[in-house]
Structure 1
């Protein structure tokens, strides 16, 4: 004799408190990203999927969440998607339709991406690793998608370098070197400063903006720091990176501002209300703490600040 299993999660809760996020994390799937006239890129992506839960409902339909995730991601794998953020958006929209008790659905994705490049001095072919990040939020008003990347680079502390420069200047003066030669030398040879491994994160709202190139986002984030770093580095490459970083010492705040300037320059076609998120975190080498700076705002605000030097606006 068959019997129907009870739908416990649909019961009312003893404690009537609504929840902003209920869902699943660390869902791994293969994604195949199509490229024109090139072989597709296959990514191992990790997803997080959430819906909100009203106060009167005991639990969300976890099995339904997984069913929708599997369904849409399997389709994306087989049919080849062109944009990872669109995959997130489609999953979020389907979640909203499947759950009649929710008002919004959130989907985020992170995947490791390898790009080929040449080393800066020895001109050897190598690869570097980037974390692609994408997300989407679907509501009755519509779906908002964003695409971005997290990259690693090198920074040098200007304050530490300034102290080294002062020491070098005093030492050269004590040795009887004339001031003109000292100035020329210090202009040509950047002095040491404590270095840091920097982590830059840049995301751009992609809703209705099909011309947001992920490679541009990656390059802007990498170039915001004192120097790029490379997986393969011969001695000339190591010398190049070290010199490059010390010739462009930057505080953590400088990195975010550099991102902002390049975003305004590169994405001049985006509408003013496009949301931009920029973050920089540096792993300090001589401190136990780390340094962090970020800015989230609309690109129109950045344009105004950069062109007119207006004060900070949210």
Structure 2
């Protein structure tokens, strides 16, 4: 019988908040709002609390739990991973953070040409004896046209690539919210979405549509905030918009955090 050193007792009387693994890259299948599952590679951080009398955590069990759930990642199963991990490890708290590229098929606005657009996303699930919680993050590329440049220029207006980051906590039922809704909200907040594939008629359409909808970073954050507050699926959020300015040597940003329970945070 091989000795189980991690299960030995510890006499120092010091509990640990988190013990686990981080930076593990692992293939997963993730549900999309387009009705299918997409294969991607997640970077996983997983941890549990450790009681004062326990020497260490069995790190192999983290991998076993992740592997057993790798083909069914959705909002409900993300919480299931954390619950499973907590019970397997006999801990009072477990946390699972998975970050990955999330691909959605997009149609070009005129020709309908199909291509996948990549969005950087993450899901964080926490399981405690008192209950579970879920947080979603999306980082969405957008195009923005400067309203000031448009107003003062005889011809054209400067535009730039930007990114909108949304961190959202779903309401009590986590299955009501997934990445697709947050991505759609972010894309609608800019002057135009970013596409992987555009033919000439599409490029003409995107250029003119963006010119007709100029927005500052402040506008984008407020647009997202308005949509999230109108949603019945979000109880707290943080929104950050950043523009990589095309005519300045700095970036511009705006940010807002809000929770339905106690006002802004």
> Are residues 1:313 and 2:264 paired?
yes
TM normalised by structure 1 equals 0.70
Residues of 1 paired with 2:32 and 2:206: CA distance? 34
Residues of 2 paired with 1:123 and 1:72: CA distance? 35
Residues of 2 paired with 1:131 and 1:31: CA distance? 15
Q: Deviations 1:132-190 (Å, cap 9, x if unpaired)?
A: 4322111111011234533211123334x16xx4353xxxxxxxxxxxxxxxxxxxx7x
2:258 paired residue number? 297
2:145 paired residue number? 156
Residues of 2 paired with 1:293 and 1:54: CA distance? 41
Q: How far did residue 128 of structure 1 move?
A: 2.2
> Are residues 1:114 and 2:103 paired?
yes
Unaligned runs of 5+ in 1: 169-188, 302-311
Q: Which piece of structure 1 moves more, 138-147 or 194-203?
A: 194-203
Q: Deviations 1:252-304 (Å, cap 9, x if unpaired)?
A: 22211111112233x2x348xx2233232333334444333333322477xxx
Residues of 2 paired with 1:10 and 1:290: CA distance? 53
> Are residues 1:41 and 2:37 paired?
yes
2:244 paired residue number? 283
Contact 2:160–2:243 (CA<8 Å) still a contact in 1? no
Unaligned runs of 5+ in 2: none
1:183-262 pair list within 5 angstroms:
191-205=156-170, 207-212=172-177, 214-262=179-227
Q: Is the strand fraction higher in 1 or 2? A: 2
Q: How far did residue 42 of structure 1 move?
A: 2.9
Contact 2:121–2:139 (CA<8 Å) still a contact in 1? yes
> Are residues 1:84 and 2:81 paired?
no
Residues of 1 paired with 2:251 and 2:210: CA distance? 19
* Cα-Cα RMSD: 3.3
